[in-house]
Structure 1
Amino acid sequence: MTPTPRAAGLRAALTSRVVVADGAMGTMLQAQDPTLDDFQQLEGCNEILNLTRPDIVRSVHEAYFAVGVDCVETNTFGANHSALGEYEIAHRIHELSEAGARVAREVADEFTASTGQQRWVLGSMGPGTKLPTLGHVSYGVLRDAYQQNAEGLLTGGADALLVETTQDLLQTKAAVLGAKRALAALGADAPVLVSVTVETTGTMLLGSEIGAALTALEPLGIDMIGLNCATGPAEMSEHLRQLSRTARVPLSCMPNAGLPVLGKDGAHYPLAPAELADAQETFVRDYGLSLVGGCCGTTPEHLRQVVERVRELTPPQRAPRPEPGAASLYQSVPFRQDTSYLAIGERTNANGSKKFREAMLEGRWDDCVEMA
């Protein structure tokens, strides 16, 4: 498979400089007050606007490109099985994904032509509302639906696939492998980027540490790993430090504009544009980030200042020290032997195996090793 010139250019950019993505999408769409008819009576289903009000979606992409960002995310965060399923339109995954990519592609091409600066489209593949680890939906159903999502995005002109805001590692795997299947089915070659969401608790929603996410996802052949949503940049620093030390692939960070603050007019995000720019500049210098942007609460002004701050920066060359290991849902365990013997065996527990328990109690270690 040969990558398109745009996809090849994006890969090259991610390894040589800081690429800047856009900021919040949903709040900017809602600020234009689309009607119930615009949503085809499916209130809040932003992906419908790709067909009914592409002018609104275009205006958001234009606002971000106008301040100098390199790439925008498609308006397809909810174009997946569980999110569209709640509106009973899961059969429209491909249609709405392709429509969202086409709108972004048109705007990107216009800005490329008018400015001479190559602009890219990141196909947004959101987490949906069901967690397969908790049994809300089966893995196979999710994977196949994500393949439809990815095929629509690629057909519509996306230059990369961004699996974002993931909270469950099994859902993340379903999205990544759905994306890989889509690339194979279309004979395409495009980067697959993954951005996980770590809560203020210090783990993903289901308790996964960042090390577990890296151990589980990097072997799937992803092109990038990073963080987005849930918190502001301050809460992401230590997780980025860990990724910087151990990840073989490039890194990204798209924080919220701080933690939301509840006021009389509802929640707002307090981080000022200059503060986001400060944080992203520090992250690039300290952790060698290749892709930066914003998430909830960030505006074109936030991204304008980020662009100005990182435009001339060259990410320092990282020298990661990956450590082979295995991961459960919760944590990564390195293959490091502190003693001379390390055994890993599912049946080697005294509660689940009478045979093992008896061998252990009788000191028949050769039998224990054989079962392991």
Structure 2
Amino acid sequence: MTGLPAVLRERVVIADGATGSLLDVMLGDELADRRDLVALDRPDIASQVILAYIEAGAEIIKTATFNANARSMKRFFSAGLPGQGPATDPETLARRLNEASAGIARAAVDVAVAADGRPRWVAGSVGPGSDAPSLGGSSYGELRDSYLPQMLGLIAGGADLVLIETVQDPLQAKAAIGALEEAGRVSGRTLPFIVSATVDGRGRMLSGADVRAFAAIIEPFQPLAIGLNCSGGPDELAPACGALAAVSSAPICIMPNAGLPRSSGGKVTWPLDAATFAARTGGMARRLGAAIVGGCCGTGPGHIAALVGIMAGAPAPVARPGRIFALASAFTSMPVAGSGKAGIFVIDERSNAAGSAAFKAIVKAGDFEAAARFVVDRAARGADAVDVSVAGSVRDERAAMVEIVSRAASVMVAAISIDSTDPEVIAAVLPLVGARPLVNSVNLEDTGKAVRLFDLARGFGAAVVCLAMDGLGPARDRATKLSICRRLYELALSRGLAPEDLLFDTAT
């Protein structure tokens, strides 16, 4: 992807508008049920949409693949709709569809760039699907597997980046990012990505996370940008966008609807005309120093052309502050000073069976529902995080931790610290947590185990406690503690973690 990260530091980049609402008009009622297959059924219409946005001045061009994950493709097989061609299963159809759609956008963008020399980029659109994993609709693994053929198709078709948009649940975004990373390993081509959430009138996602939690959870994955889309018009989205801009270390992306939808005579309409949408969205983007601005539902080429005019001569996007150490609960972020005691981060350890007789008794009795309630209760008592450990109290530590964390993680008001020395326990629990957890802990007694734990933390966006301990046991003097911590730091960074992902415990 030529130049986009550098361009985002220098000027505002204009993204296109809605694809689905345009396709609804162009395809008509007869093909409405097959709108998601437009790149295969009617590539000419898919191309017309892209060309209209290029002519309007859009620089980031989205593919018509919002619903093109394998889970969503199942409906075309269960409904018996004809026209899948050689696709014999949802995974194959998803891959073909995404490759075709990205290829259509790639061809149009390349022609436009060759004609006028202006840079443009193809963004593979990846929507949330209909099942929020934090609410029990699916699992991380199921979603990741569903997104994998979509990501492989977008890469094969020539996308420059992926837009993971309309995110309703941070765990869904983690699954999409995990699939993109796996697709990069399989294909040998890694794409950058933008993550954009949708929020309600309170500024919260469907899962309950606010925008501060969203930023704390997603930024460790190092997105190209982070933002909000859909959710209402620019006026409705402005408070949440302001809150996100106040805490995000990543460039900000804003893509509102053309107002709140209205229904009349069985048709959905959008109240904001092009000039009004552009004035309000452009004004918000300028105030917040956004790096990417575009449109979502109800916007069309006219809205984007007006936005291009409004944003002409806009100042460079605001330089973002550096990322700080923060965890997140299912609902909000927990920065280092988040407890109200500046510089103090409080971790409750009463849900650790090694130090709590009450919790140990509940776990030993196998009452995991009660154990989860115990954890949730401890989280409500004011700590920034709650440490959860069952080691030594049950025969199957992995199964017990899965039972407890699966019940507690999505309803805790504090962050969760996953405490185990077994990497396989950590590996089983991390996919259950949509928040930003803490892995407790990593040391250098076994370097291979340390590498495995750091890789898991990076892959799931977790922070890590690093202990000053190596093969000789806990360090006893200052020089040895510093030496071990330095080696842990260097190893963590070599595995893709950042300094803001690490806590050091030198008292061990």
Cα 1:120/1:316, change in 2 over 3 Å:
closer
Match of 2:39 among 40, 50, 74: 50
Q: Which runs of 5+ in 1 are unaligned?
A: 1-6, 361-368
| 1:304 corresponds to | 305
> What is the SS of the residue equivalent to 1:94?
helix
Q: 1:299: how far off?
A: 1.2
Match of 2:23 in 1: 29
Shift of 1:130: 1.4
Secondary structure of the equivalent of 2:194? strand
Q: Name 2:470's counterpart in structure 1.
A: none
1:267 offset after TM fit, Å? 2.6
Determine the structure 2 residue equivalent to 1:193.
Answer: 194
Shift of 1:124: 0.5
- For 2:56, the equivalent position in structure 1 comes to 67
| Contact persistence 2:99–2:155 (CA under 8 A) | yes
The answer (yes or no) to whether the contact 1:245–1:321 under 8 Å persists in 2 is: no
| Identical amino acids, percent of aligned pairs | 35
- Structure 1 residues 176 and 355: alpha-carbon distance in aligned structure 2, compared to 1, 3 A threshold: closer
1:211 is displaced (CA, Å) by 0.8
CA distance 1:145–1:326, shift in 2 (3 Å): same
Q: Partners in 1 of 2:17 and 2:357 — Cα distance? A: 52
> Which residue of structure 2 aligns with residue 285 of structure 1?
286
* 1:73-130 CA distance string (max 9 Å, x none): 0010111133212323522111111011001111111211222222211100111111
User: Corresponding residue for 1:15?
Assistant: 9
Compute the displacement of 1:27 (Å). 1.6
1:83 paired to 2:77: no
1:343 and 2:347 correspond: yes
Post-superposition Cα deviations, 1:26-58, rounded to whole Å, max 9, x if no partner, equal: 12112123575xx5xxx5232322112100111
Partner of 1:363: none
Give the superposition deviation at 1:136.
2.0
Higher relative contact order (CA 8 A, sep 6+): 1
Cα distance in 2, alignment partners of residues 265 and 11 from structure 1: 43
Q: How much does 1:206 deviate?
A: 1.9
Q: Distance in 1 between matches of 2:138 and 2:345?
A: 40
- Secondary structure of the residue aligned to 1:32 is helix
Q: Deviations over 1:278-307 (max 9, x none)?
A: 123222322111111100000111000001
RMSD: 2.6
Distance, in Å, in 2 between the alignment partners of 1:110 and 1:86 is 35
Higher gyration radius (CA): 2
| Residue identity in the other structure for 1:25 | T
Is residue 2:180 matched to residue 1:179?
yes
Letter in 2 for 1:123: G
SS in structure 1 at match of 2:226: strand
Cα distance change, pair 183–370 in 1 and its aligned pair in 2 (3 A): closer
How far residue 239 of structure 1 moved from its aligned partner, in angstroms, is 1.9
Q: Distance in 2 between matches of 1:125 and 1:98?
A: 13
Aligned partner of 2:263 in structure 1 is 262
Q: Which residue of 1 aligns with 2:366?
A: none
Secondary structure of 1:222's partner? coil
Q: What amino acid maps onto 2:130 in structure 1?
A: T
For 2:217 and 2:350, how far apart are their aligned partners in 1?
Answer: 19
Sort the Cα spacing of 1:351 and 1:31 in 2 relative to 1 into closer, same or farther, 3 A.
farther
Range 78-87 or range 49-58, more displaced = 78-87
- Cα distance in 2 for partners of 1:352, 1:60 equals 59
| Residue 240 of structure 1, CA deviation | 1.8
**Aligned residue for 1:170?**
171
What is the rounded CA distance, in whole Å, between the counterparts of 1:222 and 1:23 in structure 2? Answer: 21
Structure 2 letter corresponding to 1:76: T
SS in 2 for 1:204: coil
Higher mean displacement: 82-91 or 53-62: 82-91
Task: Report the counterpart of residue 446 of structure 2 in structure 1.
Answer: none
The residue aligned with 1:208 is: 209
Q: Which moved more, 1:280-289 or 1:191-200?
A: 280-289
**TM-score, scaled relative to structure 2:** 0.64
Could you say what secondary structure the match of 1:234 adopts? helix
The more displaced of 340-349 and 140-149 is 340-349
Structure with the larger strand share: 2
Change (3 A) 1:341 1:214: closer
Aligned twin of 1:110: 111
Instruction: Answer with 182-191 or 241-250: which moved more.
Output: 182-191
Task: For residue 76 of structure 1, give the secondary structure of its aligned residue in structure 2.
Answer: coil
User: What is the Cα deviation at residue 323 of structure 1?
Assistant: 4.3
The structural deviation recorded for 1:370 is 12
- Structure 2 distance, partners of 1:370, 1:266, is 51
Output the CA distance in 2 between the equivalents of 1:118 and 1:341: 45
- Matches of 2:98 and 2:41, distance apart in 1: 14
CA distance in 2, matches of 1:282, 1:232: 13
Aligned partners of 1:350, 1:197: CA distance in 2, in Å? 43
Counterpart of 1:53, as a letter, is R
CA contact (8 A) 2:126 2:162 kept: yes
Give 1:268's aligned amino acid: T
CA distance in 1, matches of 2:75, 2:135: 18
What is residue 158 of structure 1 aligned with on the other side? 159
Secondary structure at the counterpart of residue 302 of structure 1 = helix
Aligned counterpart, 2:277 = 276
* Partner Cα distance (1:330, 1:341) in 2: 17
Aligned pair count reads 351
8 Å CA contact 2:350, 2:359 repeated in 1: no
* Structure 2 residue matching 1:86: 3-state secondary structure: helix
What is the deviation of 1:14? 1.8
* Structure 1 residue 146, shift from structure 2 partner: 1.4
CA shift, 1:192, in A, is 0.8
For 2:142 and 2:347, locate their aligned partners in 1 and report how far apart those are by CA, in whole Å: 35
Q: How far apart in 2 are the matches of 1:217 and 1:47?
A: 28
Q: Secondary structure at the match of 2:122?
A: strand
Closer, same or farther in 2 for the Cα pair 1:28/1:347, shift >3 Å? same
Q: Deviations over 1:281-340 (max 9, x none)?
A: 222322111111100000111000001111321334335365432112211122225457
Q: How does the TM-score come out when normalised to structure 1?
A: 0.87
- How far apart, in 2, do the equivalents of 1:370 and 1:200 lie? 34
Partner of 1:364: none
Contact 1:81 1:128 (C-alpha < 8 Å) held by counterparts? no
The one-letter code matched in structure 2 to 1:57 is A
